[in-house]
Amino acid sequence: MDLKLKIWRQAGPTAKGQFVDYDVHNISEDASFLEMIDILNDELIEKGDDPVAFDHDCREGICGMCSMFINGHPHGPQKATTTCQLHMRKFKGGETITVEPWRAKPFPVIKDLVVDRSAFDEIIQAGGYTSATTGGVPDANAIPISKENADLAMDAAACIGCGACVAACKNASAMLFVSAKVSQFALLPQGKVEAKDRVKSMVAKMDELGFGNCTNTYACEAECPKEISITNIARMNRQFIGAKLG
């Protein structure tokens, strides 16, 4: 298929960016979206132009590195799918596709479609773990955990930290990301010991880094490639209030 692309080009963090139009031809329906961009980049390199910079790594939907905002949706139109797993059969020949970086103040653009998501690392550093050090822990089967809670914890832990939730939110809120980690530990006995401090520090760090508030539009859940549920946000709010009350 032939396609028209409108891609955000921005030379550096402080440079002024703009959309640039490109045409690509003879793209296979079985190609992934990133493979289509690879083909465009090969053509740009052959012409001596600067290829489009974009983040990607595993190309199997788990590393969370890819981050394109495609036709108004983070990771594009297909539900529960990262950009690298989006295939061209989801588009029509002749279509114009608009590609932008994540847009959120805490995720500044570095170049073209590459943004800085180190704010997520800082939030995890604020408390997104149990403080167990290596060694000196009990046998893995010493604490039975109900299958139901283990499954719910796994649902929350499936977050890949891509930032689609922030990009989808009109307030650039990181509540879905933070609540997924808070919930994972809130559901497990191992996480309960530090639960109060964890939720307070992570929320404080999130606010300090400039992420916005949650106003319940549910856009994050709708766009999350791993279908992380907003019930996690409700669980975090309960944890947070509980922690504040002492």
Partner 1 sequence: MTKIDSKIPAGPLAQKWALYKEHQNLVNPANKRKIDIIVVGTGLAGGAAAASLGELGFNVKVFCIQDSPRRAHSIAAQGGINAAKNYPNDGDTIYRLFYDTIKGGDYRAREANVYRLAEVSNNIIDQCVAQGVPFAREYSGYLANRSFGGALVSRTFYARGQTGQQLLLGAYGALSKEIKRGSVKLYTRREMLDLVISDEGKARGIIARNLLTGEVERYGAHAVLLATGGYGNVYFLSTNAMTSNGSAAWRAYKRGAWFANPCYVQIHPTCIPVHGSYQSKLTLMSESLRNDGRIWVPKKKEDAEKVQKGELRPRDIPDEDRDYYLERRYPAFGNLVPRDVASRAAKERCDAGYGVGNTGLAVFLDFKDAINRLGKDVIKARYGNLFDMYERIVDDNPYETPMMIYPAIHYSMGGLWVDYELQSNIPGLFVGGEANFSDHGANRLGASALMQGLSDGYFVLPYTMQNYLADQITVGAIPTNTPEFDAAEKAVKERIQKLMSVNGTETVDALHKRLGLIMWDYVGMARNKEGLKKAIADIQVLRKEFWGKVRVPGSTDGINIELEKALRLADFLELGELMARDALHREESAGGHFREEFQTPEGEALRNDKDFMYVGAWEYTGDDQEPRLNKEVLQYENIEVKTRNYKTA
Q: Site residues for partner 1, window 19-38 (CB under 8 A)?
A: 28, 30-32, 34-35, 38
Question: Residue type for 114, please?
Answer: V
Q: Is 246 in the site for partner 1 (CB under 8 A)?
A: no
- Binding test (CB under 8 A) with partner 1, winner from 2, 23, 42, 197: 42
Among 1, 24, 63, 222, binds partner 1 (CB under 8 A): 63
Closest contact distance (angstroms) between CB of 98 and partner 1 is 22
- Smallest gap from residue 105 Cβ to partner 1 (A): 17
- Asked whether position 208 contacts partner 1 by CB under 8 A, the answer is no
For residues 186 and 180, give the distance between their C-alpha atoms in angstroms, rounded to a whole number.
Answer: 10
Q: Name the minimum Å distance from CB 123 to partner 1.
A: 9
CB 7 within 8 A of CB 19: yes
Q: Which stretch binds partner 1 (CB under 8 A): 94-102, 110-118, 212-220, 229-237?
A: 110-118
Distance CA 169, CA 209 (A): 16
Binding residue count for partner 1, defined by CB under 8 A: 76
- Asked if 213 is part of the footprint of partner 1 (rule: CB under 8 A), the reply reads no
Minimum separation from the CB atom of position 216 to partner 1 (A): 27
Q: Which residues in the 2-21 window bind partner 1 by CB under 8 A?
A: 12
Determine how many CB atoms are found less than 10 A away from the CB of residue 169.
Answer: 24
First to last CA, the chain: 60
Identify residues 155-174 at the interface with partner 1 (CB under 8 A).
157-158, 160-161
The per-residue DSSP string of 72-118 comes to TEET-SSTT--GGG-BGGGS-TT-EEEEE----TTS-EEETTEE--H
Contact positions with partner 1 (CB under 8 A) in 215-234 = none
Task: Tell me whether residue 58 or residue 234 sits nearer to partner 1 (CB atom).
Answer: 58
8 Å CB contact between 159 and 228: yes
Nearest to 64 by CA among 157, 128, 198, 179: 157
CA distances from 102 to 115, 147, 183 (A): 7, 36, 25
245 binds partner 1 (CB under 8 A): no
Show contacts with partner 1 in window 66-95 (CB under 8 A): 78, 80-81, 85, 87, 89
Closest of 162, 219, 20, 1 to residue 90, by C-alpha: 1
